Amino acid sequence: MKPPSRYRKKLKILAIYEVVKESFYRSEEDRISEEDALDEIKIVINALKENGHDVSEMEVYDNFAKEILKWKDSVDIVFNLAEGIDNDVTKVAYPSFILESLGIPFTGCGWESFLLTTDKAKTKELLSIYNIPVTPHVVLNETPKTMPQNLTFPLFVKPVLSDASYGIDKNAVVHSFEQLAERVARVISIYKMPALVEPYVDGMDVHIGIMGNDYDNLDVMLPYGLMYKNLPDDEYPIRTFEEKFNPKSHVAKNSHIVHPAPFDSYTIERIQDISAKIYQICKCSGYARLDFRVDKNMTPYFLEINVNPSLYPEDGFVVSTRDIGLNYNEFIERILSYGYERSLTKSKIYKK
């Protein structure tokens, strides 16, 4: 689609992001993902500066509502890179809610999208109403004493509120009740949240990026898949935390992105159509990435939608935007322009 009309001036931008204090780390994974996030932030800010904008930075803490008021009249737009406050996923919508309440323009999705997509189980339940393919599942708040109904092994166990493959390793797939109980207990103990339990889908992890505000004219990228080779017998072809954040690991060295995903045109178009529908149901704006597991029968089972996805230049979503002719700096500028456009639309609504 045609991008929004670009503001013909250098913008004053405030880039906001969460910095997790070590005292809030729940595991070594927190430290690794935090370092990765800070690297990404530097890359995005550098791109904004290269695009000619005046960029300031602000770390997001509990006093965000008070601190952002100091910037309200001195910036044109906020580039929102925050993913909550102090590693508390229940506050993931807080920055966008405050920004929208104060009428400060910002990039990405609004607070409603964050609320609709943070809890994977509730998102699946919402989307099932609209006939989006989802697997049966249960959410366990404590170690199970009996086998969950309507589920059969192998099962996949992960934290219900996390992203970035947080809490997922090769043992996330379980084959017995004993393994299930141990895995659920581990998720609850380490990650301090309930466990989502669902069938393991034998197939391929597939991701797709979407950009835009106009639901009738979105840029829906071609889906891309992740393929593995030389995996040992005790590892499954799933996106683990190690695969994402440890490039020296065996699984990372033996995985690669396939773009577009190796499907026929019907399956690709189906994934695109389903993704655009989900984007609208979840009230997304600007950009988002959707994750699926496509089984051997080419059924795309929805896994989750990330409304504040990775913006690393090598990330599959970013790479896929080359399909619409964008280099990295142009991609970042497009995100900015959609945020600017969204603020103008909101302003017109409020004035009515």
Can you tell me the distance from the alpha carbon of 69 to that of 99, in angstroms, rounded to the nearest whole number? 9
Contact at 8 Å (CB) between 259 and 319?
yes
Can you tell me the distance from the alpha carbon of 170 to that of 174, in angstroms, rounded to the nearest whole number? 9
The two three-digit tokens of residue 192, written as one number: 């301090």
**Contact residues for 99 (Cβ-Cβ < 8 A; gap 6+):** 68, 78, 80, 105, 106
CATH match of 12-108+325-335 with 3.40.50.20 = yes
Residue 351 confidence (pLDDT): 40
Can you tell me the distance from the alpha carbon of 294 to that of 239, in angstroms, rounded to the nearest whole number? 13
Q: Which amino acid is at 22?
A: E
Please state the pTM of the whole predicted model: 0.92
Contact at 8 Å (CB) between 239 and 205?
yes
Can you tell me the distance from the alpha carbon of 302 to that of 318, in angstroms, rounded to the nearest whole number? 20
Contact at 8 Å (CB) between 196 and 187?
no
* Closest among 313, 340, 286 to 78, alpha carbons compared: 340
Pick the range with the lowest mean pLDDT from 2-11, 95-104, 219-228, 290-299: 2-11
Residue 330 confidence (pLDDT): 97
Residue 260: is its pLDDT beyond 90? Answer: yes
Q: How far is CA 28 from CA 16, 167, 276, 292, 310, in A?
A: 24, 11, 35, 27, 20
* Closest among 314, 316, 293, 306 to 237, alpha carbons compared: 293
pLDDT confidence tier of residue 344, bands split at 50, 70 and 90: confident
Residue 300 confidence (pLDDT): 98
306: part of which helix (H) or strand (E)? strand 300-306
The two three-digit tokens of residue 83, written as one number: 């993913």
Residue 85: is its pLDDT beyond 50? Answer: yes
Contact at 8 Å (CB) between 225 and 204?
yes
Q: Which amino acid is at 340?
A: Y
Q: How far is CA 339 from CA 80, 262, 334, in A?
A: 10, 33, 9
Can you tell me the distance from the alpha carbon of 117 to that of 280, in angstroms, rounded to the nearest whole number? 12
Most distant CA pair in the chain, distance: 63
Residue 21 confidence (pLDDT): 55
Q: How far is CA 230 from CA 155, 206, 209, in A?
A: 23, 20, 28
For residue 197, the 8-state DSSP code is: E
Give the count of beta carbons closer than 10 Å to the beta carbon of residue 15.
Answer: 21
Residue 126 has phi, psi (to 5 degrees) of -65, -50
Contact at 8 Å (CB) between 285 and 210?
no
The two three-digit tokens of residue 226, written as one number: 């992740």
302: part of which helix (H) or strand (E)? strand 300-306
Q: For 181-199, write each residue's pLDDT tens digit.
A: 999 999 999 989 999 999 9
Residue 75 has phi, psi (to 5 degrees) of -130, 155
pLDDT above 70 covers a percentage of the chain that reads 91
Q: For 103-150, write each residue's pLDDT tens digit.
A: 999 999 999 999 999 999 999 999 999 999 999 999 999 999 999 999
